[in-house]
Amino acid sequence: MHVDALPTMARRPANPAAWRRTLLAGFVIQLLLIVFVTAMGLQQLRTAADNLNAVVDLHMRKQNLTKTMEVSARQRTIIMFMLTKIDDPFERDELLMQFHQKGSEFATARLALLDMPLNDLEHSLLTMQRQLITHAQPLQDQVIDLIGADANQAAMDLVLRKTIPAQNDVIAVLSQLDTETQRVAQAASLKAREGHVVARFWLYLLSGAALLVGLFVAAVVLHYTHRVNREREQLATQDTLTGLPNRMLFMDRLEQSLIRAKRHETLVGVMFIDLDRFKRINDTLGHASGDQLICGVAGRLRAVVRADDIVARLGGDEFVVVINDVVALTPILQVVEKMLATVAEPYNLDGREIFSSCSIGVSVYPNDGTDSGSLLKNADTAMYHAKNNGRNRFQLYGAAMNAMAEERLQLETDLHHAQARGELIFHYQPQLNLETGHIHAVEALMRWQHPDKGLLVPAAFLNLLEETGEIVNVGRELLQSACHQTAHWHAAGFTSLNVAVNVSGKEFWHDTLLASVCDALEQSGLPAHALQLELTEGIFMEDIDAAVDRILALKALGIVISIDDFGTGYSSLAHLKRFPIDILKIDRYFVGDLPNSPVNKALISSILALCQGLHLGTVAEGVENREQLESLQKLGCQTLQGYFISRPVPVDEVIGLLQCDWQQTLGTIRT
Ligand code: C2E
Ligand code: CA
Ligand code: CA
């Protein structure tokens, strides 16, 4: 069994709403991040700067105070020395005042310093200074007393010997204190500066991160936009089910092909392809199976053409194929034949073997049109004719077709009224049993008694009836009339006469078939075994299991089922045993070449052998001359139908045929 590698479905488009939401979230997150980072950074920097300022301020004040103490101490020593040298009492008072002022400056600075944050060393230096002062202060007081007593020389001696050295000890300690204060200030400012550096580091780090996130978001945006654009382009130009180009892209490509063909003076073949009876598959097996079939057909069509040829789906079960750069019609027709064959191979849809076929209309640039629109329209028209001519075939476009299309429209209108006016009738063609020499059955064949055109055969209107669906009603009424008519012939004494009525695929699959057959039998009183329904192989090809079920239901009524035109479809002899049928009708195609075709002889004789094995009756159709009759007789075929016996005749001529002595008429019949 041929199993299709179905092409994968085209990729689903991205969900733009979801993407938009993601993007928006990305942007909001990024915005928040940037705001957060900036706030954090500024906060950090401000704290670091404040810290630095506070440290600088504190240590400047400390240093100033230490300096003030040191300077005051030095100045007091100098003033004391100067006091020993001055005799003028005013000048002395002035200096004394300065001496005391420096003392109080010293004390104030010291007190202020003690209020400041001090480390252990600073504390112990200040304590040491205090102890040294307690030694130096009384010496200074003695000097001041000596000066007050005008004992300048003694005061000088005291200053030089004791007071200055004592004071120098104090100054040395203060100088140590100054050094320590400076060291502490430097350390603190270094620390504060480090804090500033750390803050700056974080600021750089976080803004770097924000920048990266920004770049990431931007990359996502670019990627998304690119993807959405690509998908939009694809959606606009691609068929979502098969992934093939759609009509829009197809027209565009066809135009490019035509421009190339014009330049190179080559031909372009445009094929309009429509699946036969696709609706039936969709209706009986469901849309999912229909879709699978469409994908299967798409894959097969693609496989038979070259890479630079175009295969597109116009929608539904319609495809178009364009063959580029050819210089003759033959390669185009070869592709067409290949497409017919490949589409007709069986499909495996969910384990079911399904048969399909297609009808192809072909138009060729520049013969049948020079622009894409008219080439497509004409290929479509040709396809329509291929369908009318019996499906599973192709038709080349010709100018005459447009005229035919118009004629067909008129016919369609006429046909619509034909049933009501009783213009659709049956003619009957006899089937002769060679063994008995009697008419064993008559086949009812539809005719249209057209008011202007005269008597029309089914080829002229049956497709129209099928396409409009009117075949179901027409078939029902005609079946009734055939049953009534046959019941009349029975009443007239021809009680073994059977009637064979053709049932098309559309009628066969219609829900009302079983009821119509019941009604016709009941109302006419015809025994069920006298009614034969002629079905074609096509119904088995569409869905063999469903077809078998339907036939079994019909057979349960007691009627006889024959398979018509056997050998023209795609079912092989091997399939035959699966069909629950009673009679097989050998198509006239095999009879036509008798007795000259050994192949057909062999074929007929194997069909006959198989039918015998399966207990099936056989009827050979299309017997047009004595040679064919004799040949069939020799092969062992019992029942014959064809112009040689009789053409289909109007109802009132049937009795004459039934009464005829066939042994005499045909002379050679051996019983
Ligand atoms: P078919 O069922 O194969 O019917 C046999 C066709 O072969 C008939 O064509 C008949 O006139 C023709 N025929 C009979 N003997 C010979 C012969 O010796 N040589 C040649 N060349 N042809 C012969 P007709 O009546 O034109 O019908 C054509 C087809 O239309 C039928 O083919 C059948 O498939 C369909 N048809 C006819 N009547 C009905 C109907 O009432 N309902 C349906 N659904 N289809 C019908
Ligand atoms: Ca038939
Ligand atoms: Ca037939």
Tens of pLDDT, residues 103-140? 999 999 999 999 988 889 989 999 999 999 898 889 88
For ligand 1, say whether the CB of 39 is within 6 Å of any of its atoms: no
Say which ligand is closest to the CA of 641: 1
**CA triple 412-472-650, angle to 5 deg:** 75
Q: Mind listing the pLDDT tens digit for each residue in 580-607?
A: 999 999 998 889 888 888 888 998 998 9
Distance 49 CA to ligand 1 centre (A): 107
**CA triple 524-525-527, angle to 5 deg:** 120
For ligand 1, say whether the CB of 643 is within 6 Å of any of its atoms: yes
Evaluated on CA atoms 331, 332, 336, 337, the torsion sign reads: negative
Mutate to test the pocket of ligand 1, among 423, 427, 502 (most ligand atoms within 8 A of CB): 502
Q: Name the burial class of residue 234, with classes exposed (0-12), middle (13-18) and buried (19+) by CB atoms within 10 angstroms of its CB.
A: middle
Query: Residue 564: beta bridge partners?
Result: 536
For ligand 1, say whether the CB of 477 is within 6 Å of any of its atoms: no
Phi, psi of 568, deg, nearest 5: -95, -20
Minimal-distance CA residue to ligand 1 atom 8:
445
- For the ranges 23-37, 102-116, 258-272, 488-502, the lowest mean pLDDT is seen at 23-37
Q: Mind listing the pLDDT tens digit for each residue in 392-439?
A: 899 989 866 666 667 777 888 899 899 889 999 999 999 999 999 999
CB 344 within 8 A of CB 356: yes
Q: Residue 333: pLDDT above 90?
A: no
Mean pLDDT of 561-565: 92
For ligand 1, say whether the CB of 26 is within 6 Å of any of its atoms: no
For ligand 1, say whether the CB of 429 is within 6 Å of any of its atoms: yes
Give residue 564's pLDDT band: very low, low, confident or very high (50, 70, 90): very high
Look at residue 671 in the predicted model and tell me its pLDDT: 46
For 50: left if phi > 0, alpha if psi spans -120 to 50, otherwise beta; the answer is: alpha
Mutate to test the pocket of ligand 1, among 445, 474, 507 (most ligand atoms within 8 A of CB): 445
Long-range interactions of 246-252: CB distance < 8 A, separation 24+: 246/312, 246/313, 246/314, 246/315, 247/312, 247/314, 247/315, 249/312, 250/310, 250/312, 250/314, 250/320, 250/322, 251/372, 251/373, 251/376
Distance 73 CA to ligand 3 centre (A): 142
CB 393 within 8 A of CB 340: yes
Minimal-distance CA residue to ligand 1 atom 19:
622
**Which percentage of the chain shows pLDDT scores above 90?**
47
For ligand 1, say whether the CB of 622 is within 6 Å of any of its atoms: yes
Residue 58 structure tokens: 């504190």
CB 408 within 8 A of CB 464: yes
Nearest to 539 by CA among 585, 586, 574, 507: 507
Q: What's the distance, Cα to Cα, between the start and end of the chain in Å?
A: 45
Residue 200 structure tokens: 């700056």
